[in-house]
Structure 1
Amino acid sequence: MARNTGPVCRLCRRENMKLYLKGDRCYSDKCALERRSYPPGQHGQRRGKLSNYGLQLREKQKIKRIYGLQEKQYKNYFKEADRQKGVTGTNFLVLLERRLDNTVYRLGFANSRSQARQMVRHNHFLVNGRKVNIPSYLLQPGDVVAVREKSRQIGAITEALDAVPRRGVPAWLELDKEKFQGVFRSIPTREEMNLPVQEQLVVEFYSK
């Protein structure tokens, strides 16, 4: 699968908000957005007001970059959300939050979603006692995500767990640090997700 290999701090500056793509660096004074709070590029400081289409596009790009998805995969999630009953925008965010790599990050086993994706790919996690190495695997309520016994001494995982008190664990997840496992307790509500995004703009973008 294609992935972004360029400097990710530029993405935060482009969206004018912290996307937390670099783990601990995003919480320090080294954060690029703290140093230069304007879009990257030669004309970054002179960009004017966005049109309605521009606002919709920026919101689409923001969510795509937060979860580290490619365009085709992102659009497929939206189509699936549109087919489901309920509010399309909320369904869309729920699908993204149910991804295994996102859940690994949310539980605190990784410092960023890209790191979580790599760890899942490298077979460091079990779901309900079975090895799963597909980052896009969608979790169901009651599923247990655990670090494999052989992987519990990996420095990146222990360091990420030490940072859990700072980041916190969402209400729909339950972490047991001693057992190196967590439970996907329930489908999150829009209020619980507490994401600084306007998903309705994405719905409008794809409704054209």
Structure 2
Amino acid sequence: MKDINWLKLFWELFKTIAPSIVAWYLAVRTAAKRSEKDKKEAREQLKIAKDYNAEVQNKAYKLQFCLRELENREQLYEKALSDTNVVSECIRRYFNSNGSSGSIMASAGELINQLHLIMPSIGTTESLVSAVRPSEVVTFEESLNHLNYYGKKIEKSMNYLAHTKIQEGLLGRKQVNENFNDEDMRNFFDQLLNMRGLILKLIYIVLNEMG
């Protein structure tokens, strides 16, 4: 039996096995790199998703706050509109001899109280307008100027009617007639209506944003 050429045998085995070992090593290395890349991408996606969810949640909180506050303002103006109508109706009935001075005093006092609730809310209402639809701020300020103009007249008139004893007969009619202007009241009512309409418009915008 001839001597085996171990060197040649090992070389042949090496040539046969080496490519498989190299291929396995490269595959393992590639898989490790791919896994690390996938982990990195997954972490980035999670961060993006987390940031997005936080942004969506913050926006939802903001919209819910705006909606709640706008609804509160709308109720204030709705009540003021109702009180304005009641005053006008009480005065109309008084002059038609089927009303009383007491009802005028009571309704005027109710309207004054409502105006005192509306006026402190003006600043925050403007902030709400700016937050929901900045382009409406100019419209709001214009409406507010008109409301303030007629509001001062109506406030003075209602303060008199609410806190001054109205006499009986012709003297009482003269008191009411000299301290109540129906045209001013109608203009004031229209400005309240404009403000309420703007607030309703903003409420619809918020509801649409909320989906």
When normalised by structure 1's length, the TM-score is 0.28
Structure with the bigger RCO (C-alpha within 8 Å, sep 6+) is 2
The structure with more helix, counted as a fraction of residues: 2
Larger Rg: 2
Higher strand share: 1
